[in-house]
Structure formats: C-alpha cells, structure tokens
Amino acid sequence: TDLHNPDFVQLAESFGAVGMRTEPQGFDASLQEALAANAPVVLEVLLPNLMPPFHIV
C-alpha cells in the first residue's frame, strides 16, 4: 500500500500539544516526562513491524 502514518510528533505540535517519540526501552522515562508536562502530550512508541494475526487467502 502507498499509505503511510503521519509524523505524530509534528502533528501534535501543530495543534499546540507536546509531541514525543520513544522506543519501548525508553517508555518509562518518556511516560514520566509526559505526565510531568503541563500540556497535552502525544507519546508515540515505536514498535517493530508485527505479523498480522492471520492471513486472508
């Protein structure tokens, strides 16, 4: 498919929110930072590509 996810950090910032991106290993620290922010926050967690649960034949 030619569809792609938007840049959620830039999208959040364009609406005046804080945009953050993290890997699963840094989630705890990023979540604490997001909770401490005095603003709305979008926290994007980058996950590896996962196989679909089933294939349609």
pLDDT tens-digit readout, 6-57? 999 999 999 999 999 999 999 999 999 999 999 999 999 998 776 666 655 5
Q: State the pLDDT at residue 21.
A: 97
Specify the higher pLDDT residue, 20 or 1: 20
Domain ranges of the chain: 8-45
Predicted structure pTM score: 0.75
DSSP-derived secondary structure for the chain: -------HHHHHHHTT-EEEEE-GGGHHHHHHHHHH-SS-EEEEE-------S----
